[in-house]
A and B are shown apart, each in its own frame.
Chain A
Amino acid sequence: MENSKPKRRKPKPKASRAPKREPAVAAPEEIAREPTAARSSEARDRSDTLLEELEHRLDAIIGDHSLVEEPPPVPEPPFTPPPARAPTAPPPSSTLPSSTVPPPPDSSVFDTARDLLTTDFYLRRWGRMAMRNRSEDVDDFGYDPTYDKRVKPLFDFLYERYFRVECRGVSNVPSRGRCMLVANHSGTIPFDGPMLKTAVEHEHAGGRAVRWLAEDFVFHFPFLGSFESRIGAVRACQENAERLLRQEALVAVFPEGTKGIGKLFRDRYKLQRFGRGGFIRLALRTQTPVVPVAIVGAEETNPMLFRVESFSKLLGVPYVPVTPTFPLLGPLGLMPAPTKWKIVFGAPIDLGDYGPESENDEMLVSRLAETVRQSIQELLDAAVRERKSVLFG
């Protein structure tokens, strides 16, 4: 009748319920102190004699092993539990120096060897090691702070030494509240998301975290997708972006999408179509200010000469790039060229005057999308014009 177990379990208040907050095991010295203090002297005598007896037995065992090479065929002594677990024996640390802690009586070199030979031992080790770079909790979109900290030096190196990013107008990014960075998308391998994140982290006074929206194919490419989501990328779709903005996050969007990273070298710094203006509808709905961002230098990292689309479906990517180095040098050819980058943040465009219901006004949406596109193109043109060298800025 009453064999349904969890029925009785009322959810307890949060503090006592969460297993992580419960002290797992009392500190060892507490265990050591408490029983000895409470125990009467005659009990201590008894345990002392027990210990002595154990020591003698141990000496005998060690003596046996040192005298004869093979273990003698004498019957094994009856199994006694190891002294550390026997309820009457005080912990060995209180009476014995730690070097002479008796191992369990039936243990030997062979047991250790057997332990080391089992796969279980290594599996457990491996399992314990595997969590060292990962936090136990991630946010709604899989961002892992520990992992991010771990790979941060790589992106810092790329930002400071490799691409020598020059950042301008970062004060246009508000230090709190929701905000949308709208940037051009370029480079055959999109490094601009992580670089934008590093730029705001480094240069902005508030040190805000940028969540950028990544294309589907990047996000679901093996290894790349899980890596990107751990460092803060989010799959680009309206629902995800809206959820982020409602959490007052700083979201970077690349409305050009795959067309942006897949454009040929001759089309560099020419903004492609901005999707269907979804980012403007989103900004209107959530009343988010938009900051145009121009990223210069990423176009030349992997200049794409041709785009092969015939067997791209097989690989799950929208195109296979042909760069001066790529199929020629193998995977190494995908290394980005060390170009000099410039990230320019434009003046924020406030959409607060329009009201959330204006997202259904298609004319307004396409007009605003075009306004944002124009302002990014102007920023781009100005930055490209004042650039003297691709590699040295």
Chain B
Amino acid sequence: MVQTKTRPKTPAPGGEALVRTPAGATRRRPQSRVVALTGASSFVGQNLLGLLEEDEYVERIVVIDVKPPPSAGKKTRFYEVDLTQPTAEARLSELFAAERVGTLVHLAFHGSPSHASAYAHELESVGTMHLLVAARQARISKLVMSSLTLLYGAHPSNPNFIAEQQALRATRREPFFRDKIEAEAEAARFGERSEGAVVTVLRTAPILGPTVKSFLTRYLSRRLVPTMMGFDPLLQFVHEVDAIAAFKLAVDRDVPGVFNIVGDGVLPLSTVIKLAGRVALPVPHPIAEPLTSLGWLAQLMPAPPTFLPYLRFLCVADGVRARDVMGFRPAYTTREALIDFVSAMRLRDVKLLEEA
């Protein structure tokens, strides 16, 4: 972990440990040391599950998923629950009560845009609703949810660094964004209705690193990377290690609110492509949209045309709140995250060449 936390080895009497946040406020940990986790097969989920297994403070990890998590250990208990089913609510609230879950970590979101948008909607928007209704019934006192800085949307009117208070203005035409914005609204409703609950939403910048795979890594792995002619927006990434550390930090500390989890610094798209050793293919933006929608339909493009504004305008978030309130300090800058990703990609390329 990047951050060291002050925490007694054995919990204080009454099962409550004191945690000091950097703001100086001392908060009480929830009584239960059981963590429930959805989306344990996602990239962050897999790695967070491993970290929680190692953490001696965590007593048990309850994994709610449709398939067993690949990184499960001794402390993990797997329950096969499909969040999209209407019966999930009752099942989950029973389960939460029986396991005495204290913290719920909700990571069941697609990391890349999907062609199966109907299922994605059922899972992300409706599934979050089912999950949080059950959590409220079981009086779960803490929720950690993942979100994206992409939800701010790329607009010409964005400031260079977007703070957490700004509205989520990503286009509602795109189900990938719409479902996640709805899920955030569900989380906010959960925070309003359940008194005393700690709701932490982490909006991560696009994650890059040696092992992560997403639409972004597919975009940067192409030999010719399409860009918008005449536009060179500044981009921002967060390294996978930092993203995972941020979620662990949010589980450890009780910091209610929304936080942007971003790496320091920005890079222009053209420099990103050059550092990745790829060649930019500038496309005039009026013809890019029909081309991309064709490419997306033919499954040649990693993202639908609603992602094109991100190649023209800024969507960079300000991570100062996560630093000051949560105590999150990214170890990698945007540039270092990119270089780490690129060197891993090069190594894979070389190995493929040698095998051939």
Set of chain B residues within 8 Å of A142, measured between Cβ atoms: 234, 266, 268
Enumerate 13 A-B pairs (CB-CB under 8 Å) in ascending A order: A2-B50, A3-B71, A123-B279, A130-B274, A134-B270, A138-B266, A140-B161, A220-B156, A226-B231, A226-B232, A226-B270, A237-B157, A239-B163
Set of chain A residues within 8 Å of B223, measured between Cβ atoms: 120, 123
Q: Is B188 an interface residue (CB 8 A)?
A: no
Q: CB within 8 Å of B: which of A109-149?
A: 120, 123-124, 126-127, 130-131, 134, 136-138, 140-142, 144
Q: Is A11 an interface residue (CB 8 A)?
A: yes
Set of chain A residues within 8 Å of B280, measured between Cβ atoms: 130
Of the stretches B118-126, B143-151, B329-337, the one at the interface is B329-337
The closest CB in chain B to the CB of A239 belongs to: B159
> B216-230 CB contact bits vs A (8 Å, 1 = yes)?
000000011000011
Of the stretches B14-22, B85-93, B238-246, the one at the interface is B238-246
> B309-343 CB contact bits vs A (8 Å, 1 = yes)?
00011000000000000000001100110011001
Q: Is B131 an interface residue (CB 8 A)?
A: no
Give the docked Cα–Cα distance between A17 and B49 (Å). 25
Set of chain B residues within 8 Å of A137, measured between Cβ atoms: 265, 267, 335
> B36-54 CB contact bits vs A (8 Å, 1 = yes)?
0000000000110111000
Q: CB within 8 Å of A: which of B190-242?
A: 209-211, 223-224, 229-232, 234, 240-242
Q: CB within 8 Å of B: which of A43-100?
A: none
Q: Which of B157, B265, B279, B340 contacts A19 (CB 8 A)?
A: B340
**A223–B230 touching, CB < 8 Å:** yes
Give the docked Cα–Cα distance between A123 and B242 (Å). 33
Set of chain B residues within 8 Å of A140, measured between Cβ atoms: 160-161, 265-266
Give the docked Cα–Cα distance between A11 and B232 (Å). 31
The closest CB in chain B to the CB of A10 belongs to: B1
**A222–B156 touching, CB < 8 Å:** no
State the A residues within 8 Å of B (CB): 1-7, 9-11, 14, 17-20, 120, 123-124, 126-127, 130-131, 134, 136-138, 140-142, 144, 216, 219-223, 225-226, 229-230, 234-235, 237-240, 243
**B339–A19 touching, CB < 8 Å:** yes
State the B residues within 8 Å of A (CB): 1-2, 46-47, 49-51, 70-73, 156-157, 159-161, 163, 209-211, 223-224, 229-232, 234, 240-242, 244-245, 265-268, 270-271, 274-275, 277-280, 285, 312-313, 331-332, 335-336, 339-340, 343
Known: A134-B274, A226-B231. 10 other contacts (CB 8 A): A1-B73, A2-B50, A6-B209, A7-B50, A19-B343, A20-B339, A123-B224, A131-B275, A220-B312, A230-B232
Set of chain B residues within 8 Å of A144, measured between Cβ atoms: 268
Set of chain A residues within 8 Å of B274, measured between Cβ atoms: 127, 130-131, 134
**B231–A222 touching, CB < 8 Å:** yes
Which 6 A-B pairs give the minimum distances between C-beta atoms? A222-B230, A11-B331, A239-B159, A226-B232, A7-B50, A223-B230
Give the docked Cα–Cα distance between A7 and B285 (Å). 40
Give the docked Cα–Cα distance between A223 and B223 (Å). 23
The closest CB in chain A to the CB of B2 belongs to: A11
In the assembled complex, the CB of A221 is this many whole angstroms from the nearest CB of chain B, namely 8
| Of A120, A144, A225, A234, most B-chain CB atoms within 10 Å | A225
Q: Which of B47, B268, B278, B336 contacts A6 (CB 8 A)?
A: B47
Give the docked Cα–Cα distance between A216 and B155 (Å). 11
